[in-house]
Structure 1
Amino acid sequence: MIETHAHIYDEQFKEDIDAMLARASTVGVKEIWMPNCNSETIEGMLTLEEENPDFCKPMMGLHPCYVKADYQEELNLVRSWLEKRSFKMIGEIGLDFYWDLTFVKEQEDAFLAQLALAKKHNIPICIHSRNSKKNEHNAIIRCCELIEEFGWKGLRGIFHCFSGNLEEAKRVISLKFLLGIGGVATFKNGGLDKVLPYLSLENIVLETDSPYLAPVPHRGKRNEVSYIDLVADRVAFLMTKEKEEVISRTSKNAVKLIS
């Protein structure tokens, strides 16, 4: 399996990172893709890559929750790192309307700036798109609109932690993006039971978003990469596929994306 989204540099893994990585390997995880958040997460992320070069693969980007008044400085750092070396993807980037709407314009500017970086370096992107609490602001649709406005046909990537409806899923797929499916698929009211049965395995990849959004029966606790096995179980059930097929196809999707 390829774990396409895990914040394993997080402080919650400080005491047992080696044991956590060993558990991930035991369930069949071959690669862990690490999204960056901002300037403060780069060092820890790259240290994990240095210690586990064949296992831990970093991205580079500015997370929308960290887009503040100084976002241009953060973007300049992202640009400098992309000039220095290669990364799997630009991420995670996008729009977050859940916590704070103060910097929506800046989030959109930062998103578009990083789409330009994806085009310049010809690498895929990892998108974070979280709606406002009452769903009056739809981040999935707005990200799609900005991608369409940007207009580069070569743009590709993953809408990470997808939790939208079927119509939104089809909109994302029409843009040639994959859906990142994680622990939400196991939630009783997560909504993906009304989406996944109508999709093809060619449209999804697996993730955990560790240490967040742990799947049932670990919901509410620290998530970890090995729980991707539970996500694969649930996807297989909802899509009426064999688990081995889910693992094989989603891993091929991930490899193809970055090839």
Structure 2
Amino acid sequence: MIETHAHIYDEQFEPERDAMLSRAWQRGIEQIWMPNCDHTTVNGMMQLADKYPGRCLPMMGLHPCYVQADFEKELQLVEDWLGKYPFLAVGEIGLDLFWDKTFRAQQEEAFLIQCGLARQHNLWIDIHSRNAFWETIALIEQFADPALTGIFHCFTGTLEEAQKAIELGFKLGIGGVATFKNGGLDQVLPHVALEQLVLETDSPYLAPVPYRGKRNEPAYLDLVAQRVGDLMQVPKEQVMATTTQTARSLVGPKVLSAS
């Protein structure tokens, strides 16, 4: 399996990060893809990329929750890094209108700029769109580049939203919410093609049942795969194989050669 979204550099893993990663490898996870947040997360992420080459693969981007009035400085750092390292993707980027809408205009500008950086470097984007799906879609349509692709990370939307994302060439990142009783994905996943999905945990957040409310970790991806298989009425092994192949299809030769 490929874990397509995990913040394994997070301080919550500090006491036993190597043991946590060992559990992931033992569960058959071959790669963990790491989204960046801002300048404060780069060093920890890159240390893991150096320690586990080919297994812990970093992205570079500015997370919408970290967008402030001076976001241009952060974007300059993103641009500088993209010019000197073969990153997996530009991410995680997007809009978050759940907590605070103070910097909504800056979030939108930062997203569009980073879409441009992704195209410039021939990379896909990893999208965060909390309480902002259609607003994010509007920006993608405004950007108007059919070659722009990527993942709607932590997808928890409706069937209509799933179909719109797929129509625009994006994959759906499915995580622990799929295991929640009222998560809503039981009304969506049976009606989309398995080939449109990739698996993630968003560790250390959103742990699947039976660990809900506790710290999440990549080893729990197996539980997500099982739940997706149950909802789509296909064997877990098929879910694992197909989502891994879909994830690999996003990765360019530049990254593969670096790994």
> 1:17 offset after TM fit, Å?
0.5
Corresponding residue for residue 252 of structure 1:
245
Corresponding residue for residue 255 of structure 2:
none
SS in 2 for 1:84: coil
Corresponding residue for residue 24 of structure 1:
24
Corresponding residue for residue 189 of structure 1:
182
Any residues of structure 2 matched to 1:21-170 within 5 Å, and which?
21-131=21-131, 139-170=132-163
> 1:55 offset after TM fit, Å?
1.0
Distance 1:54 1:179 in 2: 23
Corresponding residue for residue 134 of structure 1:
none
TM-score, with structure 1 as normaliser:
0.97
Corresponding residue for residue 195 of structure 2:
202
Which structure 1 residue ranges, 5 or more long, are not aligned? 132-138
> 1:141 offset after TM fit, Å?
1.0
The answer to whether structure 1 residue 241 and structure 2 residue 230 are counterparts is no
Corresponding residue for residue 213 of structure 1:
206
SS in 1 for 2:83: helix
> 1:257 offset after TM fit, Å?
1.0
Note the alpha carbon deviations across 1:176-220, whole angstroms, 9 max, x for none. 100000000000110000000001111000000000000000000
Corresponding residue for residue 136 of structure 1:
none
Distance 2:60 2:216 in 1: 22
Distance 1:241 1:65 in 2: 36
> 1:153 offset after TM fit, Å?
1.1
SS in 2 for 1:250: helix
Corresponding residue for residue 216 of structure 2:
223
> 1:235 offset after TM fit, Å?
0.2
> 1:112 offset after TM fit, Å?
0.2
Distance 2:119 2:56 in 1: 24
Distance 1:228 1:22 in 2: 14
Distance 1:88 1:200 in 2: 24
**Paired amino acid for 1:107:** Q
**Paired amino acid for 2:233:** T
Distance 1:194 1:24 in 2: 29
SS in 2 for 1:180: strand
**Paired amino acid for 1:105:** A
RMSD across aligned C-alpha pairs, in angstroms? Answer: 0.5
Distance 2:118 2:112 in 1: 10
Note the alpha carbon deviations across 1:43-87, whole angstroms, 9 max, x for none. 000000111112100000000000001100000000000011110
Count of residues paired in the alignment: 252
Distance 2:34 2:93 in 1: 13
Corresponding residue for residue 179 of structure 1:
172
**Paired amino acid for 1:158:** I
**Paired amino acid for 1:223:** N
> 1:90 offset after TM fit, Å?
0.2
**Paired amino acid for 1:114:** Q
Distance 1:243 1:202 in 2: 14
Identity %: 60
Distance 1:117 1:201 in 2: 29
